[in-house]
Amino acid sequence: MRGGEGNRILLASGKPVFKGHEIVIKHCFPITTMLNDNVDDNSSLLAVEASGLKKTYPGSDVAALSGISLSVRQGEIFGLIGPNGAGKTTLIGCLLGLLRPDSGTVKIFGKPADSLAVRQITGYVPERSDFEYWMTARQFLQYHHGLARRDKRDREREVAEALESVELSKTVWNRRLKTYSRGMLQRLNIAQMLIGKPRLALLDEPTLGLDPTGVTLVRNLVKKMQDDGMTAIVNSHQLDEVERVCDRVAFIKQGKIASVQDLHSGAVSDYFLLVRWPESQLNGRLTSLVAEVAEETKASVDEYHHDWGRFSVRDNKMASLLIRKLIERGVPVEEAVPERAKLEELFANESSSDQTGHGGIHDE
Ligand SMILES: Nc1ncnc2c1ncn2[C@@H]1O[C@H](COP(=O)(O)OP(=O)(O)OP(=O)(O)O)[C@@H](O)[C@H]1O
Ligand SMILES: [Mg+2]
């Protein structure tokens, strides 16, 4: 799904333009008739409420969405994970009102997804952006500033702020986008989402093509957005990042929600800590030592051998206590490495039961 010229989708008809199966939004116009149609400030409203979403693309015999229901609270950062072709981007399209589900409903702050008032407060980082490559970054954001109907007097300041917040060097602000690298375009893509100061942001693979600094930047931006009261839905294959920023995560599989995990409940933040020690210095005390330390720290022993042990720990605090106790008891710890996180574990378990992507990459 393409986001056309980004996220500020204010179509004169109030409807997205469909071309074939893809959404192509080429010309977006601010609407004046929507002035009185504002989204309610009522904090008890759910930011997103989707119910029974089903969607099969024309010409396809496999459903991209097979009945998805989802609620996201205001201020929440909600993650979407799942294999390629699972339906994450399609779901985002339906939540944005860019794709029409075959059945089911979407309410954003209590209003229909495709209402103009909703579009005005919604930011979107599309999976595949369609930039106007002849524009400079500054022009591109100025254009989006207009689409977002922001006050023109604030334009230069807000455009500069957005470019600064994605750490695009000033030296490229006036360069045409056709000269931009992929990562630079992705940073601009994120800046474009920020420009209208949306209340709800939908980020489809926001770290795609970004260098490690960019990945950290996205993490910090999402956290800041939350501090500022925004709600966000983040679809990403970077599970460690999802784990760091999200409050809850839905695992999407074959167009359905296979499970929803609350990342603050403790259950998902557990991880394995692999600890290595030299065998020679333990003099046969290993079994009792491991059991005692596990008992004291409340970590559980997953497996241990003569020179290493794998412990399940709830958090970093428990991990450091475990290492300290081992050392105190004379285990000369050489190395302690966190193994794959629970979300990764969940991904592997949920995915292993069948092939990747229904009608997706294995569908020949
Ligand atoms: N424009 C389209 N026309 C036909 N089928 C489509 C179209 N876009 C997606 N699909 C199909 O819908 C299903 C869900 O695709 P979607 O892009 O939503 O997956 P995704 O979870 O976002 O995958 P990825 O992680 O690869 O981005 C897949 O089977 C895909 O082949
Ligand atoms: Mg996708």
Q: How confident is the model at residue 352 (pLDDT cuts 50, 70, 90)?
A: confident
pLDDT of residue 14: 33
Residues with CB under 6 A from ligand 1: 21-22, 57, 60, 62, 64, 82, 84-90, 127, 357-360
Instruction: Tell me which of 80, 84, 90 to substitute to probe ligand 1's pocket, judged by most ligand atoms within 8 Å of the beta carbon.
Output: 90
Q: Kindly report, residue by residue over 136-176, the tens digit of the pLDDT.
A: 999 999 999 998 888 999 999 999 999 999 999 999 999 99
CATH number at residue 312: 3.30.1370
Whether 148 and 114 map to the same domain: the answer is yes
- Distance from the CA of 1 to the center of ligand 1, in angstroms? 8
- Distance from the CA of 122 to the center of ligand 1, in angstroms? 22
In whole numbers, what is the pLDDT of the chain averaged over residues? 84
- Locate 295 and state its tokens: 């008992």
Whether 203 and 328 map to the same domain: the answer is no
pLDDT of residue 289: 86
Whether 222 and 295 map to the same domain: the answer is no
Residue 105, domain member (yes or no): yes
Instruction: Tell me which of 24, 57, 252 to substitute to probe ligand 1's pocket, judged by most ligand atoms within 8 Å of the beta carbon.
Output: 57
Name the DSSP letter for residue 29: -
- Closest protein CA for atom 31 of ligand 1: 360
By DSSP bridging, strand 77-81 and strand 248-253 are parallel
Instruction: Tell me which of 84, 234, 354 to substitute to probe ligand 1's pocket, judged by most ligand atoms within 8 Å of the beta carbon.
Output: 84
Whether 231 and 279 map to the same domain: the answer is no
Q: Is the dihedral of CA 151, 154, 159, 161 positive or negative?
A: negative
Q: What atom in ligand 1 is closest to the CA of residue 21?
A: 1
Q: Kindly report, residue by residue over 15-66, the tens digit of the pLDDT.
A: 333 333 344 333 333 333 344 467 777 778 899 999 999 999 999 999 999 9
Whether 194 and 45 map to the same domain: the answer is yes
CATH number at residue 67: 3.40.50.300
- Closest protein CA for atom 6 of ligand 1: 57
Residue 202 has pLDDT above 90, yes or no: yes
- Split into its structural domains, the chain has a count of 2
**Which H/E stretch holds residue 19?**
strand 18-19
Residue 62, domain member (yes or no): yes
For the CA of 82, the nearest ligand: 1
> What span, in angstroms and rounded, lies between the C-alpha atoms of 176 and 200?
29
Cβ-proximal residues to 168 (8 Å cutoff; 6+ apart), any chain: 137, 184, 187, 188, 191
- Angle between helices 155-165 and 182-194 in degrees, nearest 10: 130
- Closest protein CA for atom 16 of ligand 1: 87
Instruction: Tell me which of 88, 202, 361 to substitute to probe ligand 1's pocket, judged by most ligand atoms within 8 Å of the beta carbon.
Output: 88
> What span, in angstroms and rounded, lies between the C-alpha atoms of 95 and 104?
11
User: What is the extent of the structural domain holding 326?
Assistant: 271-333
- Distance from the CA of 23 to the center of ligand 1, in angstroms? 13
For the CA of 88, the nearest ligand: 1
Residue 358, domain member (yes or no): no
- Distance from the CA of 142 to the center of ligand 1, in angstroms? 32
> What span, in angstroms and rounded, lies between the C-alpha atoms of 57 and 81?
21
For the CA of 254, the nearest ligand: 1
Whether 282 and 242 map to the same domain: the answer is no
Q: How confident is the model at residue 10 (pLDDT cuts 50, 70, 90)?
A: very low
Chain position carrying tokens 């695009």: 168
- Distance from the CA of 253 to the center of ligand 1, in angstroms? 12
Classify residue 326 as exposed, middle or buried by CB count within 10 Å of its CB (0-12, 13-18, 19+).
buried
Q: How confident is the model at residue 269 (pLDDT cuts 50, 70, 90)?
A: low
Residue 358 has pLDDT above 80, yes or no: no
Stated pTM of the model? 0.79
Backbone angles phi, psi at 269, to 5 degrees: -80, -10
Name the DSSP letter for residue 55: E
For the CA of 250, the nearest ligand: 1
Whether 235 and 296 map to the same domain: the answer is no
For the CA of 203, the nearest ligand: 2
- Distance from the CA of 199 to the center of ligand 1, in angstroms? 26
> What span, in angstroms and rounded, lies between the C-alpha atoms of 289 and 306?
12
Alpha helix ranges (H) inside the chain: 88-95, 116-120, 137-147, 155-165, 182-194, 212-227, 239-245, 286-297, 316-328, 342-352
Residue 364, domain member (yes or no): no
Q: How confident is the model at residue 284 (pLDDT cuts 50, 70, 90)?
A: confident
By DSSP bridging, strand 65-72 and strand 48-55 are antiparallel
Contact predicate 55/65, CB 8 Å: yes
- Locate 268 and state its tokens: 């998902």
